[in-house]
Amino acid sequence: MGVRIEPIPDSVRVRISGDVETTLSVPYEDDDRFLVALSDGTLLVGSYDEDLRCKFDIARDGAGIVRFESGAAFVDWRVEWATIGVYDANVVEPSQPKPMPLFPDLEDILH
């Protein structure tokens, strides 16, 4: 079935309906952005403007198909849980680990 994620007008809360039925309060820090994570692996970034209008973007694709319509996000996939959190760039854009040397013993010889 999937879920519909929509902002509740004139508030900083999000309503999730479908496979999961809940209302979540948007956590705030210094940023007007927040994250919505779903059990299918989808990660959405939500943001508010000065007039409390909310917009969603995809940070990471999950198993479901995400579409946007009239300020709401629809995820067409079986969703078992949803959570919301403050925006963290480390979650959205994880750093790349340093590559490991193929032959660590030869590194000392070559340098």
User: Residue 99 to residues 94, 96, 102, 106: CA-CA distances in angstroms?
Assistant: 15, 9, 9, 15
Give the pLDDT confidence score for residue 46 in this predicted structure.
Answer: 94
Whether residue 27 contacts residue 34, with contact meaning beta carbons closer than 8 Å, is answered with yes
pLDDT digits (tens, 9 = 90+) for 21-46: 999 999 877 788 999 999 999 999 99
Longest dimension (CA), the chain: 66
pTM of structure: 0.80
DSSP letter, residue 106 = H
Closest CA relative to residue 39, chosen from 11, 77, 71, 4: 77
CA 105 to chain centre: 42
Closest CA relative to residue 53, chosen from 22, 5, 8: 8
Tokens standing for residue 101:
């040397």
